[in-house]
Structure 1
Amino acid sequence: MNPIIDGILAMEGGWSFNDKDKGGETNWGISEAVARAHGYTGDMRDLSRIEAYAILENDYWIKPGFDRIAQISYPISFELCDAAVNIGAHYPCIWLQRWLNVLNQQEKRYDDLKADGHIGPLTLAALTRFLSWRGKEGESTLVKALNCSQGAYYLEITEKRHENEQFIYGWIKNRVT
């Protein structure tokens, strides 16, 4: 079992529904739309932890490449996966690439990346070079930087959609650490 997915499942908990939440009904952090896309046809209250685990692992761990990030940095992979479960994988991938670009001392350490949201060999190599250069301090700094982007994202979507005001406190409290 993947402890990151297990941790996210524990944090997400079971079924919830708030009519102001654009995600609609969710269970174990899985929205109804995502569950249906995976062929789930039952009541969302009945989505099992095992079914949710499989969806989370596939869509928010393996597909975006966070499993490969984990081989380089477990804390960074957790941060990316946790954000992806909450907002989708695309933005966290772009945030990683953008932060790696601005932390490379104007390409003295490694070439800039195309911030396309796809974790591939160049992103993995840049992350490896960054961490080889900056070490554990760099790892924790990069996690903080990713949290900054996540917090800015929540602020932006809440300013655009005032219904999100009832959620932003919890997002910041639980997701931006």
Structure 2
Amino acid sequence: MFTNPVINSVLKNEGGYVDHPNDTGGPTHWGITEKTARSYGYTGKMVDFTKEDAYLILEKNYWYQPGFDKVYAIAPVLALELCDTGTNMGPVVGIKWLQRWLNVFNHEEAHYADITVDGKIGPGTLKALTQFLEKRGTEGAGVLVISLNCSQGQRYLELAEGRTANESFVYGWMKGRINL
């Protein structure tokens, strides 16, 4: 069942049960909030929520639905970053960052055309990513991951500055999520 290496990595990073008083998401297990678990019909206590249940939700909502499986076929390291970011912040957030970075890395459209920043992995995003990697190679994939981490780190800073209770989490977010 646990055949997707990216989802397995996310599960490992998320860890087990957490119910921190400063977390607005409430009880969370394997990265799945109680609200999300309930939307899938789970009625038990979150402390008892299984890794198998989490895997199925993560694979559906944070892998296939946003199209990270398509990114994986082009750049596995980038798919891992996007899936992990998506689990933490929602898939649309990471996809928009990817689209924005692809647009500014296209050398004023000399390498490929700008794409719409819509938070969806569609043909335009996949084409731009492919063209970017054709130009920049493996190094380019690494630079994209670093770029996404920069955006994610900035977001964590804003979250902590905007709500002091988030200071409880910001060190762990940076340690566990930036530079996977």
Give the TM-score, by structure 2 length.
Answer: 0.97
Shift of residue 60, structure 1, vs aligned partner: 0.6
Q: Which residue, out of 132, 140, 143, partners 1:130?
A: 132
Q: Residue 153 of structure 2 aligns to a residue in which SS? A: helix
Q: Which residue does 2:62 correspond to in 1? A: 60
Deviations 1:66-120 (A, max 9, x none): 0100000000000000111111111001000000000000111111111110110
Q: Which residue does 2:44 correspond to in 1? A: 42
Alpha-carbon distance between aligned partners in 2 of 1:102 and 1:38, rounded to the nearest angstrom: 38
Q: Which residue, out of 7, 10, 17, partners 2:9?
A: 7
Alpha-carbon distance between aligned partners in 1 of 2:17 and 2:135, rounded to the nearest angstrom: 43
Shift of residue 23, structure 1, vs aligned partner: 1.2
Shift of residue 170, structure 1, vs aligned partner: 0.5
Q: Which residue does 1:139 correspond to in 2? A: 141
Shift of residue 39, structure 1, vs aligned partner: 1.4
Root-mean-square deviation (Å): 0.7
Q: Report matched runs for 1:1-177 at 5 Å.
A: 1-177=3-179
Alpha-carbon distance between aligned partners in 1 of 2:15 and 2:167, rounded to the nearest angstrom: 21
Q: Residue 71 of structure 1 aligns to a residue in which SS? A: helix
What number of residue pairs does the alignment pair up? Answer: 177
Alpha-carbon distance between aligned partners in 1 of 2:28 and 2:15, rounded to the nearest angstrom: 10
Whichever residue aligns with residue 173 of structure 2, its letter is: W
Give the TM-score, by structure 1 length.
Answer: 0.98
Alpha-carbon distance between aligned partners in 1 of 2:36 and 2:114, rounded to the nearest angstrom: 33
Alpha-carbon distance between aligned partners in 2 of 1:88 and 1:76, rounded to the nearest angstrom: 16
Alpha-carbon distance between aligned partners in 1 of 2:162 and 2:115, rounded to the nearest angstrom: 29
Moved more, 9-18 or 139-148: 9-18
Q: Residue 145 of structure 2 aligns to a residue in which SS? A: helix
Alpha-carbon distance between aligned partners in 2 of 1:14 and 1:117, rounded to the nearest angstrom: 29
Shift of residue 3, structure 1, vs aligned partner: 0.6
**Percent identity (aligned):** 51
Long gaps (5+) in structure 2: none
Moved over 4 A (4+): none
Alpha-carbon distance between aligned partners in 2 of 1:2 and 1:92, rounded to the nearest angstrom: 20
